[in-house]
Every structure is written in structure tokens, then in C-alpha cells.
Amino acid sequence: MKNKLKIIWVSLLIISLNACSSVLNTPDSALGDTHFYSLVALAPVSTVNKSQLRIGVGPIEIPRLLNRPQIISRKNNTEILMAEKHQWGGSYKEELIQALTDNLSNLLNTDNIEQYPWKFSFKPAYSVRVNIERFDGQLSKAVILKARWRLYKGSQEVLVKRSVITVATLGRSYSAYVKAQSKALAQLSQRIAKIIK
């Protein structure tokens, strides 16, 4: 009887260990099936002869639809997809403002750049406010960025512009989709920097 109980006990132990092992080795197991992403900024143009130009970035407004952890895409013109297993590594709004700040810093070759709200002592020569109306698209097709932005020289508004940017997604993956979003944001940054220059 004792031997029978030992055999049953050992068998149950082996079965449970095998079950644990198979869960840990499954790539899409519940323990590690969510992928996290981040927007990528443009590389610096130069690391020498930095400009003393002061730039303020923000505020940036985004639709409530986009302000969530899941990556948002479209199935078609009317149906939205929220990817539970493909999410932003941090706050999407913070991702956007950080990427835009880094892009402008690199394009204008200045480190004198601050995000809204900047400290009282910081007096930007130019500041830009951005209202993103749409920033989504379809996997394997394209990402569309629609943004209205305002450029200020000191405290005076000098330009109001609406940009519509379309970037092809090179592949069906969410990684390709996020790269296309980074490229679209880079193009918006280039348009803003061109006017400031």
C-alpha cells in the first residue's frame, strides 16, 4: 500500500512538473504573450556646434481613443481594433511628446528644448502646440497622421497649419506599424523644424 501511494505521489509530481515546463516553454503562454513598443526618434544630425535656440514643445492633445495602453489600428474605415497583446511600453501621450521633442532637438541641433509645462525661467524663442486629430491606420497598409499645429514666436502666434501624413507600413507586424508611426511623426517634426529654421 505504501509503495502504491509513493508511485501515485511521484507520478502526480512528474505530471505537474511537466505541465509547468510546457507553460514556461510556450512562446504565447499567459506568462509572456504581451509585446510592448516604443516610438523611435530621428538620429542626431550633429553633436558639435550646438545651437543656443530655445524651443518649447507642447501641450500635445490626442483623441481619447488613442490615450490607452493598447495599440490602436483599424480593420476598415469604421471598425477600430485594440490590440490587447500589443501595447505601448508607457503612456502613449508621453511617447508622442518625447519623440517629438527628441526629433526637434536633433533636427534643430539644440539641447535647449523643454516640454510643456516648462519652468518659469525658460523663455523659448519658439514653441509649438500640437492637436493630433488622428494617428492610426491598417496593418500591412498605411498609417495616417492628421494634426493641427500652432507655432509661436515668443508669445505671438505666427502660424497655424494642418498636416496630413501617410506612411506605408512595411509588413503585417505591429513592429512595422509602430515604425511607420515613428516615420510619420518624424515627417511632422521635419515640417515644423523647416519653418523654425
Using DSSP's 3-state secondary structure scheme, residue 145 falls into strand
| Strand partners of residue 110 | 51
User: What's the CA gap between 104 and 113, in Å, rounded?
Assistant: 8
More confident site: 136 or 8 = 136
Residue in the block written with cell 502660424: 159
The stretch 127-153 carries a mean pLDDT of: 97
d(CA 18, CA 7): 16
Q: What is the pLDDT of residue 28?
A: 37
Spatial contact of 93 and 60, defined as CB atoms under 8 Å apart: yes
Give the start-to-end residue ranges of the domains of the chain. Answer: 1-33, 35-196
C-alpha cell at 166: 501617410
Closest C-alpha among 115, 114, 113, 185 to residue 143: 185
Average pLDDT in the 128-147 region? 97
Where do the DSSP E strands lie in the chain?
35-37, 55-61, 70-74, 80-88, 113-115, 126-137, 142-153, 156-168
8 A C-beta contact, residue 105 and residue 47: no
CB 173 within 8 A of CB 181: no
User: pTM, whole model, 2 decimals?
Assistant: 0.82
**Nearest to residue 123, comparing CAs of 58, 53, 65, 187?**
53
Q: Quick one: pLDDT band at residue 2, thresholds 50, 70, 90?
A: low
Under 8 Å between Cβ of 45 and 110: no
User: Reduced to 3 states, what is the DSSP secondary structure of residue 134?
Assistant: strand
Q: What is the mean pLDDT of residues 61-69?
A: 95
Is residue 176's pLDDT more than 80?
Answer: yes
Query: How far is it, in rounded angstroms, from Cα 141 to Cα 124?
Result: 39
* Interatomic CA distance for residues 177 and 180, integer angstroms: 5
- 35-196: CATH topology is Rossmann fold (3.40.50)
Mean pLDDT of the chain: 87
pLDDT tens column, 6-54: 555 545 445 444 444 433 343 333 346 999 999 999 998 777 788 999 9
